[in-house]
């Protein structure tokens, strides 16, 4: 039977999941790549998704990126690296693409892709960082993150823009055309 209160006792994944699953409102504390803390609301019923996201986050941080892409906006180009997993490589297979971007909640720019990306072998959700490129499966959108969004089911981190380059995308008006191609 699961314990009724949290303690400071160190436990393994199985015991942690047994404690988490019957609860409905939890806060997941993680550390971003730059060392800043991140707190995300999660539901205990999604404990397996949280475990997968945590494992993928660790893999993402250490993964070698293999595909470099060029993103052209208003006659200016920036580069980004795609991750080495099926969803990112499926995007690479669709290139070159010309997409229309629009702002979403003042934290991301989104563009609908011509077809859905493969979701095999990726966690149910993720918590992207600023400068990440993501795929949001429920709406089939390519996403450029320039603000904090937190954990959501359906997000897959597929790459990252270098340094401050995401500011070029952030400044664009709704309806701006971007071209994405292999570098």
State the pTM of this model. 0.67
Residue 139's nearest CA partner among 181, 111, 109 is 111
Per-residue pLDDT reduced to its tens digit, 117-169 = 999 888 889 999 999 999 999 999 999 999 999 999 999 999 999 878 889 99
pLDDT at 1 over 70: no
Residues 164 and 83 in one domain: yes
DSSP 3-state of 158 = strand
Residue of 91 and 56 predicted with greater confidence: 91
Which pLDDT score is estimated for 124? 87
Contacts from 24-29 at CB under 8 Å and sequence distance 24+? 28/151
**One domain for residues 41 and 116:** no
Is 174 within a domain?
yes
pLDDT at position 140? 96
Do residues 174 and 101 make contact, with C-beta atoms less than 8 angstroms apart? yes
Counting Cβ atoms within 10 Å, is residue 71 exposed (0-12), middle (13-18) or buried (19+)? buried
CATH number of the domain residue 113 falls in: 2.40.100.20
User: Structural domain tally of the chain?
Assistant: 2
pLDDT digit string, tens, across residues 4-59: 666 677 777 677 667 766 765 666 676 666 667 767 666 655 555 545 544 544 44
Q: What is the pLDDT of residues 67-76, one digit of tens each?
A: 899 999 989 9
pLDDT of residue 57: 46
Would you state the pLDDT for residue 48?
53
Residue 92, pLDDT score: 94
Angle between helices 13-20 and 47-62 (to 10 degrees): 140
d(CA 116, CA 119): 9
Residue-level pLDDT at 41 = 65
Residue 6 lies in a domain: no
Query: The domain containing residue 83 runs over which residues?
Result: 67-182
pLDDT for res 11: 72
- 111 touches 136 (CB < 8 A): no
pLDDT on residue 64 = 45
Examine the fold and report which residue of 39, 62, 85 is the final residue of a domain before the chain moves on.
Answer: 62
CA-CA distance, 50 to 28, in Å (whole number)?
8
| Same-domain pairing of 148 and 79 | yes
């Amino acid at each position: 039977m699961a314990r009724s209160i949290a303690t400071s006792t160190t436990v393994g994944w199985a015991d942690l999941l047994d404690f988490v699953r019957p609860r409905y409102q939890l806060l997941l504390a993680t550390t971003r790549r730059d060392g800043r803390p991140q707190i995300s609301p999660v539901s205990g019923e999604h404990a397996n998704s949280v475990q997968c996201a945590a494992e993928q986050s660790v893999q993402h941080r250490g993964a070698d990126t293999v595909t470099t892409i060029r993103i052209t906006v208003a006659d200016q180009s920036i580069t980004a690296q795609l991750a080495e997993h099926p969803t990112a490589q499926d995007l690479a297979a669709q290139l070159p693409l010309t997409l229309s971007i629009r702002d979403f909640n003042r934290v991301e720019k989104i563009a609908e892709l011509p077809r859905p990306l493969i979701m095999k072998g990726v966690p149910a959700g993720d918590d992207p960082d600023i400068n990440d490129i993501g795929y949001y499966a429920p709406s089939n959108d390519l996403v450029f993150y320039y603000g904090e969004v937190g954990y959501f089911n359906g997000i897959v981190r597929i790459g990252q823009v270098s340094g401050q380059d995401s500011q070029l995308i952030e400044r664009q008006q709704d309806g701006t055309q971007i071209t994405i191609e292999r570098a």
